[in-house]
Structure 1
Amino acid sequence: MDRIAIVGLDCRFPGAPDAGAYWELLMRSGDGISSVPRQRWDAADFHSPTPAEGRANTTEGGFIDDPDAFDNEFFTVSPREAAAMDPQQRLLLQCAWRAVEDAGIAPKQLAGTATGVYVGIMGNEWAQLHLTDYDRVSAQVGSGNGYCMTANRVSYHLDLKGPSLAVDTACSSSLVAVHLAGNALLSGECDYAIAAGVNVALTPALSIFYNQAGLSAPDGRCKPFSSQANGIGRGEGVGAVVLRRLEDALADGQQVYAVIRGTAVNQDGRSNGITAPNRWSQQEVIGAAYRRAGIEPDQVAFTEGHGTGTVLGDMMEVSALGHHHAGRTGRPMALGSVKGNFGHTEGAAGIAGLIKVALSLHHGTVPASRFAAKENERLDLRGKGLRLLKAPLRLPRGASVAGLSSFGMGGTNAHAVLESAPPAAARPPARPDERPRGIGSALFTLTAPSPQALHRNLAAQADALSARRAPVGAVGWNSHRVKSGHRHRFAVSAPDTATLVQRLHAAVADPALFAGLTGEAAGAPRTALLFTGQGSQYPRMTAGLYEESPLYRHFLDEADAALRPHTGRSVRDLVLTGDESVHLTQWAQPALFAVGHALGRTLQELGAEPSLLLGHSVGEYAAACLAGVFDLDAAARLITARGALMQQLPDGGGMLAVLAGPDELAERLADEPEAGIAVVNGPRATVLSGDSMALMRLDKEFERDGIRTRMLRVSHAFHSHLMEPMLDDFAEVAREVGGGVPQLPLYSTLYGRLLDGEAMDADYWVAHIRRPVLFADAFTALRDAGPSHTVEVGPSPVLSSLTRKLPPSDSGTRPVVTAPVRGADSGGQDLADTVAELYRGGLDPRWENVYETRDQAPYRLSPYAFSDEHRYWTAGPARRSGAPAPTAAPDEPARPAGRSTNTSVLVLERPAPADPVTETALAAIGQVGGYEVAELGPLLRLYEDLGFDSVMVMELKKRLEERLPALVELTVQDLLPRLASVGDLVDFLREYCAPATDSTQERTA
């Protein structure tokens, strides 16, 4: 048999709410037995120390906490449907989701795939209680019960298209489900499979049966293979594993808990009674599993036995194992059973044992078996080559092999052989990757369906990461892979795990900080890149980012290689070594181009494709290159010529920043022909350029009139008539280089508007040197195009401060402003913060480029933390003492106990119930879904938010017709397009019913 990998798991058993707690319980030999909760049945009413008819001999058992808790809003299940569903379905939905996450997969990524779901289940007490109350049977009660639905619910809500079936072979159900799932994987029927088991005890029926059959332990505890063994103790729980073909798991780099080498299933046939075990069938199924696994019995280090703790059952099981292991007197095989910790979980027994074996192989330790201290000498364990584990067994290095038995009360037996996951050396070697990757800082992201769920899961992740050492790169990488797919997003950067944990805890504790680090994705962001111009340069600009980010390093090197033939030296080295000559125009301009190009290309590779572009003066060269106006080599030649020719101009010019608008300056400039407007950055932010003496005269006038000014430190009078001596030489280079039409929307600071099919050719670039920079006009036009974010691309956020001073748009909205480099101390974290900001706004980055290859390693994060605020159990008077009552009738939908009023479905704005149609519509929606009218806001979507389906729509139509006779002629086809939201439906009904309502009012008058 080819091997199957267990790549993910989750569970919930008595005393163990998750897999980590389950392992801790096993290692301390914990006891999960407690008294029967009053929520189930009044144990006193059904208890008798003697085998009296209709009574159980114990009030103890293994019970999980809060089986009524269900996060229905997460799965978009209406309260009414949730209240009708078997709790086993609810538990399994959440467990399956968490198991898939544990496998390193965002569950929504499996949507549409041929993933199989195989569920072991033998109890259906919820259906017995509800489907027999015929007056209260509804569509929700019908679909909320039945074995098949436990598997089908998972397939439906995760949109899985593979086989989906429930398996009932009594106590062996979930291990048989694993067997079937493995065979489906090996046959190619599916590529992933979820195998699970679930059991919730709702009535004392099986406890009474066990007692009447002489199988029930008076203290409610299984004592496997012990001299104290005196029967079965009932237990409950849920567990799920994610299975995959081993070769596929290894090829994808998934973590593997353990490997299933072989499984086998058979039947007792005609034995000494249908519920009596058959030793010969048990030993044959074990042998068959060994043969399929290709192992010899002496290779098995330990076996997780069925181990119910009944005298006959233990004797038969030990005899069956002894048939294969009796020759191992010197090195007996270890034997135990998890049933000693929390009882016999019936349909979930096999999955409980499988997860225990998988964790034991994963941790290299087998927990001690509870009640092993007093082994049953009549079993002659030593003579059969077996021993009970009285202390944890440390497994030797290398591969270990384990067995697992699960025997059904009706005679269906199953056995599995597992082994340790292969060492890393067995994995295929990583392919050499020459692509540059990595931004220099980790980025942790988290998503959830609502802000409340996001905050709850953020707290869970912070606590989990605080409790263990974790590589920050792997944590961040897996957060994107696993915790994605929901509308509400959180993102934060961190250079190391300690900082990450600190920032997570801070966000949990501070509502304002939490709000600032979250966003709601309603589609990809519309991003504008603003390229900074000359004057923003400084020695060692972006040196920190170059050192920390391989991705940025690659593109700065690329720009340097393109510039070097024209500059004669390395612009990159000039920038990074702190050479003060970076302020000289001949070096400042190519250096700023190199930085702008490298940052722009880095953002592109990270998935932040620009929707809009703008460059301030010399910044327009990098913007044009990114827009496809010319290639990198051509841009490098042109920008180098520009800087060199300007540097050759004679001194004598200057630039003056004036806190005044162009119109205010026109009259003054008319008297100073040697000075003119060079830049317009805002309504009252203008830069003059020209002869230094003329500027000084103007400066004195401004000072006299109380107008604030600032003389800029520049080498030349840019964008003035003093540039004209170099224009002919530059034009010659520009004509050779050429320039086409931008392939992306580019807002020209030469024209102060969007370029509409116009080429940025030689004439454009010549005029670009001489004419003013119309930044304010260009940015205003860009802003009016509706970008969601502006990202300043340059060594410091100069333009960002200018944009904040510009008047807002007519709508009053402003784009979110961010910058990947924020000054001389910037490194990878500032770039990561920019990606985080865009992610919160809806960007789905190319995560493979965010992280270096070494960080793209699997790491298991804490699973999703579901809400336990909503409680769905039975309501109303019990039909008999201790028995849960049925759900409410359709006209009186059951309400969840303790339902939260702070949920993702609540909207403060509600349709004003000022007319009978509105009141009727809201009441009908509330009755069908089980919602209070006060919860129903107009923006809530019936399908996506309120969990409506075709059955509920038909019921909604019926209820509306009963109250609004005018709707009798309305067809379902007419109604369906009007169900987008509560508000849409209400508006439609009011319009549709208006003539009838008006006529009624007229007759009444």
Structure 2
Amino acid sequence: MSTPAEKTGPDRRIAVVGLDCRFPGAPDPAAYWDLLMRSGDGVGQVPDTRWLGADFYSPEGEEGRTNTTEGGFIADPDVFDNEFFTISPREAAAMDPQQRLLLHTAWRALENAGVAPSSLAGTRTGVFVGIMGNEWAQLHLTDYDRITAQVGSGNGYCMTANRISYHLDLKGPSLAVDTACSSSLVAVHLAGNALLSGECDYALAGGVNVQLTPALGIFYTQAGLSAPDGRCKPFSSEADGIGRGEGVGVVVLRRLEDALADGQQIYAVIRGTAVNQDGRSNGITAPNRWSQQEVLSAAYQRAGVEPADVAFTEGHGTGTELGDMIEVKALGGLHNRREKPMALGSVKGNLGHTEGAAGIAGLIKVALALHHRVVPASRFATKENGKLNLTRHGLKLLKAPLRLPAGTSVAGLSSFGMGGTNAHAVLESAPAGAVRPAVPEGSVGVFTLSATTPEALRRNLLAQAGELGKRRVPVGPVCWSSNRVKGGHRVRFALPAADTAELAVKLRQAAEDEEVLGQYAAQPAGRPRTAFFYTGQGAQSPAMTARLYRESPRYRAHLEEADAALRPHLDESVLQLILSGDERVHLTRYTQPALFAVGYALTRTLDELGVAPALLLGHSVGEYAAAVAAGVFGLPEAARLIAARGALMQALPSGGGMLSVPAPVAELRELVDAEPLVGIGAVNGPQGTVLSGDLKALERIDAVLLARGLETKRLQVSHAFHSPLMAPMLERFSLVAEEVGGGIPKLPVYSTVRGRLLRDDEPMDAAYWVEHVGAPVLFAEAAERLFEAGPTHVVEIGPRPVLSGLVRRLRPPAGLRTLHPAQAPRGEEPGLPHLAELLAALHRDGLNPAWDAFYPEADRQALRLAPYVFSDAHRYWSKPVRRNPVAVVEAVAEAPAAAAPQPVSARLTLGRGAGLTGPTAEAVLAAVAQVGGYTVAELNAHSRLYEDLGFDSVMVMELKTRIEKKLALPEAIPVQDLLPHLGSVGTLITFFEERRTRVTVAS
């Protein structure tokens, strides 16, 4: 037997990279697989929320009645997280629940594929939905007095696909498919063709079916097709008809070559599909053997397989006598010459016939079987229907699970529609190339999660904790996958992690403890505006950043780059001094180049991680690395200049020092002026002045200060930096500076020589760097001017945090955060975990780091995380249908009685704003609440009509009319006048108040 791969020409295979589903007895894919593997039964009594079974039931199936009160029903189909999708309660209540279910399922399927749904916005992603029932419309569109714009847009087959495309902003094909029971497999067929033609690069294909009335059950009964116990028994001797089922499923599809190139996990591969029609046969509702056989043959041909290659087939398997017989004969026409019989089964035995969702239910079953390499037993297979002669047709029912052998396994999937549209798909197991290598332990990551509200965040933290607590997976890929998939919502969570088990514990703690959650979660107002503060001399230590060098390949590369640039100008490698922990790093000739190298390497590392400065400030020699960051000169020029500076200072005579004085500079000026060999070395704050100069002169000043009761501190330095004692080196240094040059900064630099922002006509040239040697370091003045530019974060660049303490003493603006990429607890060597903490803090505050740059290639593997857990606080449903008299149903929105209302404004963490009193405000609030389906208490002045309340153009027009009537305005307001004022409820109130006042004055 030839292998399937030998029969494939150009690769036209489609990968199933993600999926999600809800079926009777199975609220998610894991539960679905469990139901299948234990041959579980998802069928039960008709729920009270659907129709009153006794009103429509007759065991004899008399006219107008159904012969069963059982079927397959999903739990809680009325639950919908409308706030997540920014849909107003009024619109949510009018929407077909099939649309709501598909929105939830499509989102979770994309996350399962390792794709952030928001990342597909604007792309040519296609949506293909199979659907054959629209009972919600039957219930709501017949009461003409209650039809609204929302009821109109909330119904219709087209909207099941269009809702997904609209809310995810997808630009590819978007269509609903109704071929009756084969609808969702035909949707998969169309999605695959769209991918292969290049019409889209991602495709969502799915199906949905919700039973709201007994109408189809009555039809099945009257047509002699309904099973009295409500259960399908495929290919069984007990088969006695169809049992209805419901559910929803969505798969995410890509061209196989693209999925492999992106390293996505693959459930299974679709090798080929085919669709045909019975044409004129023995009745429009009757199946046709020859058409079924032809669609099988066409699918095999397109897949490049022989019938003998197919290990098992998920049959249509309705459990009707005629349907089962024709399907077996169609399969037998191609498989009856097999040496080994092909396994056959049907998920309808577990769920019932899910009608428009039947094909997707079967596809997900086959994909999971190929993924787990085991085919579940077929329910009711133990009582095989002998009349089918399965053995003679080369078939066998699975009475026990079938283990698939190593290598490629091929499966078939059939779905046949009442009316004659047949579909078949050939699938195979994921290629060996899709299996990624194992990840070594010991990696570090940042686990990120986002949600629409703090409560939603807690809910999803618990889900992630529960999932990670059950799995042994490396932390690096877990964190990398979370960075890719779990972003996009306004409440952000970020937690550095080095162990998955510990991560699971911390996630649970954060979900359950408000204080812990506050440490790792935030709701940023925008992107951070970051200032880099570069540490000066005094921050050095032996082995500084050595651990980070070992653990971060990016930092290692940039520190080596700086060392290579410095080496021609030094007699030692600063890199080797650092790594060896050599105490000579405290010698000025090495200190200054080493600090520059660390500052340069940290800057470049952060830049590649997506952390770029908006503002720059350097304390003394810190300005050299800041100048390179600002584009004043390149690394080679800066390296030469800083090496010359350190060497020339080291060569100066000893006898100088520096004295830290807790007093304002103005109080010390007289003492300094009296000593020609002493100068102001630095002004670090209102009570932080450093004097620099001759040691004997400093001793005289110190004695005076001690007499005044000031406690001074002698700094451990080799020379009197930034003092008159630097003068002997200036001539030789200026020669190097003239050759190196310098230019205008390309980023704002707050100079500690000038104590302010450098102007556009102030270059950091040779004259500047010469002045820099002896001039006082005006850190406090420069920092205070920088604070006026509105930074949100100060990131200190250096081997350890020194300036952060000075910043806090300057009383910076409220909310300004100070961070350090190598800040570690006392006694702990800073390394990659501390860089991870910096990224986590910035991400919480609105930054989107370049996460790929943080992880080694081995960690960049997609792992499937627990999908988003939607809120179950809101329920939208209809009153049950009664037989006599037929009642007009009314959409109702329900929330659990015990739960406090969850206002939309809670997402903004704002209470009711000012300006919401008076007749105009009351009229506007009442109209907004009425049009959107809110209570007035849920609204505030900051509630945005579009982004928060889910308004659209149709709702805005209705809102305008209602407000005009409530305010009794004499004439309609032109739409173009209103549009600029639709930002929020508050702006709308202001607009109408001005209009109302204008009318009053005019009259």
Match of 1:261 among 265, 271, 274: 271
SS at match of 1:868: coil
SS at match of 2:626: helix
648-657 or 50-59, which moves further after superposition? 50-59
CA distance in 2, matches of 1:884, 1:38: 15
Change (3 A) 1:967 1:792: farther
Change (3 A) 1:187 1:808: closer
What is the CA-CA distance between 1:954 and the residue it aligns to?
1.1
What is the CA-CA distance between 1:911 and the residue it aligns to?
4.5
Match of 1:580 among 583, 586, 595: 583
732-741 or 340-349, which moves further after superposition? 732-741
Q: Which residue of 2 aligns with 1:993?
A: 996
CA distance in 1, matches of 2:884, 2:584: 91
What is the CA-CA distance between 1:675 and the residue it aligns to?
2.9
CA distance in 2, matches of 1:928, 1:621: 61
Equivalences for 1:937-956 in 2 at 5 Å?
937-956=940-959
The reply on whether 1:762 has 2:771 as its aligned counterpart is: no
Equivalences for 1:819-834 in 2 at 5 Å?
819-823=820-824, 825-834=829-838
What is the CA-CA distance between 1:389 and the residue it aligns to?
0.9
What is the CA-CA distance between 1:221 and the residue it aligns to?
1.4
What is the CA-CA distance between 1:226 and the residue it aligns to?
1.4
**Letter paired with 1:989:** F
What is the CA-CA distance between 1:929 and the residue it aligns to?
0.6
Q: Which residue of 2 aligns with 1:835?
A: 839
What is the CA-CA distance between 1:632 and the residue it aligns to?
0.6
The reply on whether 1:858 has 2:868 as its aligned counterpart is: no
CA distance in 2, matches of 1:314, 1:849: 56
CA distance in 2, matches of 1:676, 1:112: 62
Match of 1:928 among 923, 927, 931: 931
CA distance in 1, matches of 2:57, 2:560: 81
The reply on whether 1:174 has 2:184 as its aligned counterpart is: yes
CA distance in 2, matches of 1:796, 1:481: 31
CA distance in 2, matches of 1:694, 1:931: 76
CA distance in 2, matches of 1:925, 1:729: 75
**Letter paired with 1:947:** G
Change (3 A) 1:934 1:175: same
What is the CA-CA distance between 1:243 and the residue it aligns to?
1.5
Change (3 A) 1:628 1:66: same
Q: Which residue of 1 aligns with 2:790?
A: 786
347-356 or 628-637, which moves further after superposition? 628-637
Match of 1:503 among 503, 506, 509: 506
**Letter paired with 1:873:** W
SS at match of 1:732: helix
**Letter paired with 1:503:** K
CA distance in 2, matches of 1:15, 1:354: 18
Structure 1, unaligned stretches of length 5 or more? 430-437, 1001-1005
**Letter paired with 1:212:** Q
What is the CA-CA distance between 1:371 and the residue it aligns to?
1.3
* Contact 2:241-2:318 within 8 A present in 1 as well: yes
SS at match of 1:384: coil
113-122 or 929-938, which moves further after superposition? 113-122
The reply on whether 1:225 has 2:226 as its aligned counterpart is: no
Change (3 A) 1:842 1:111: same
Equivalences for 1:456-495 in 2 at 5 Å?
456-495=459-498
SS at match of 1:382: coil
How many residues are treated as equivalent by the alignment?
A: 982
What is the CA-CA distance between 1:426 and the residue it aligns to?
9.8
507-516 or 29-38, which moves further after superposition? 507-516
What is the CA-CA distance between 1:867 and the residue it aligns to?
1.1
Provide Cα deviations, 1:697-737, integer angstroms capped at 9, x if missing partner. 33333333321222111111111122222122212211121
Q: Which residue of 1 aligns with 2:454?
A: 451
CA distance in 1, matches of 2:169, 2:515: 36
Change (3 A) 1:814 1:191: closer
Change (3 A) 1:229 1:878: closer
Change (3 A) 1:769 1:486: same
* Contact 1:174-1:347 within 8 A present in 2 as well: yes
Q: Which residue of 2 aligns with 1:384?
A: 393
667-676 or 710-719, which moves further after superposition? 667-676
Q: Which residue of 2 aligns with 1:411?
A: 420
What is the CA-CA distance between 1:896 and the residue it aligns to?
5.7
**Letter paired with 1:934:** A
The reply on whether 1:355 has 2:364 as its aligned counterpart is: yes
Change (3 A) 1:305 1:175: same
Q: Which residue of 1 aligns with 2:22?
A: 12
CA distance in 1, matches of 2:633, 2:700: 42
* Contact 2:52-2:882 within 8 A present in 1 as well: no
Provide Cα deviations, 1:668-708, integer angstroms capped at 9, x if missing partner. 33444443321111000111122222323333333333212
CA distance in 1, matches of 2:808, 2:481: 36
960-969 or 596-605, which moves further after superposition? 960-969
What is the CA-CA distance between 1:191 and the residue it aligns to?
2.0
CA distance in 1, matches of 2:779, 2:307: 81
What is the CA-CA distance between 1:754 and the residue it aligns to?
0.6
Q: Which residue of 2 aligns with 1:396?
A: 405
CA distance in 2, matches of 1:597, 1:292: 58
Q: Which residue of 2 aligns with 1:51?
A: 61
SS at match of 2:875: coil
SS at match of 1:8: strand
**Letter paired with 1:846:** A
Q: Which residue of 1 aligns with 2:76?
A: 66
CA distance in 1, matches of 2:246, 2:971: 49
**Letter paired with 1:362:** H
* Contact 2:661-2:713 within 8 A present in 1 as well: yes
CA distance in 2, matches of 1:694, 1:375: 107
Change (3 A) 1:967 1:909: farther
Provide Cα deviations, 1:801-855, integer angstroms capped at 9, x if missing partner. 110111234xxx2421110012561100111111122222222222231222222
Q: Which residue of 1 aligns with 2:284?
A: 274
* Contact 1:45-1:882 within 8 A present in 2 as well: no
CA distance in 2, matches of 1:867, 1:835: 29
CA distance in 1, matches of 2:502, 2:582: 34
Change (3 A) 1:477 1:904: farther
The reply on whether 1:548 has 2:551 as its aligned counterpart is: yes
Provide Cα deviations, 1:616-660, integer angstroms capped at 9, x if missing partner. 111111111111111111111111111111111122111111111
- TM-score for both structures, normalised by structure 1: 0.95
* Contact 1:41-1:883 within 8 A present in 2 as well: no
25-34 or 64-73, which moves further after superposition? 25-34
Change (3 A) 1:884 1:935: farther
Match of 1:796 among 780, 797, 800: 800
531-540 or 684-693, which moves further after superposition? 684-693
What is the CA-CA distance between 1:969 and the residue it aligns to?
3.4
414-423 or 264-273, which moves further after superposition? 264-273
* Contact 1:560-1:572 within 8 A present in 2 as well: yes
Percent identity of the aligned residues?
Answer: 66
Match of 1:747 among 747, 750, 771: 750
Provide Cα deviations, 1:569-607, integer angstroms capped at 9, x if missing partner. 210110111001111111111110100010011111111
Equivalences for 1:109-120 in 2 at 5 Å?
109-120=119-130
Q: Which residue of 1 aligns with 2:853?
A: 849
What is the CA-CA distance between 1:885 and the residue it aligns to?
4.9
* Contact 2:374-2:404 within 8 A present in 1 as well: yes
CA distance in 2, matches of 1:205, 1:701: 101
* Contact 1:264-1:416 within 8 A present in 2 as well: yes
**Letter paired with 1:718:** F
The reply on whether 1:365 has 2:374 as its aligned counterpart is: yes
Structure 2, unaligned stretches of length 5 or more? 1-10
* Contact 2:51-2:881 within 8 A present in 1 as well: no
What is the CA-CA distance between 1:781 and the residue it aligns to?
0.6
* Contact 1:282-1:320 within 8 A present in 2 as well: yes
What RMSD over aligned residues (CA atoms) do the two structures have, in Å? 2.1
Q: Which residue of 2 aligns with 1:1003?
A: none
What is the CA-CA distance between 1:393 and the residue it aligns to?
0.8
Match of 1:662 among 665, 676, 683: 665
* Contact 1:440-1:545 within 8 A present in 2 as well: no
* Contact 1:440-1:828 within 8 A present in 2 as well: no
* Contact 1:4-1:260 within 8 A present in 2 as well: yes
* Contact 2:443-2:475 within 8 A present in 1 as well: no
Change (3 A) 1:255 1:629: same
**Letter paired with 1:453:** A
* Contact 1:40-1:884 within 8 A present in 2 as well: no
- TM-score for both structures, normalised by structure 2: 0.95
* Contact 1:125-1:201 within 8 A present in 2 as well: yes
What is the CA-CA distance between 1:868 and the residue it aligns to?
1.2
**Letter paired with 2:901:** T
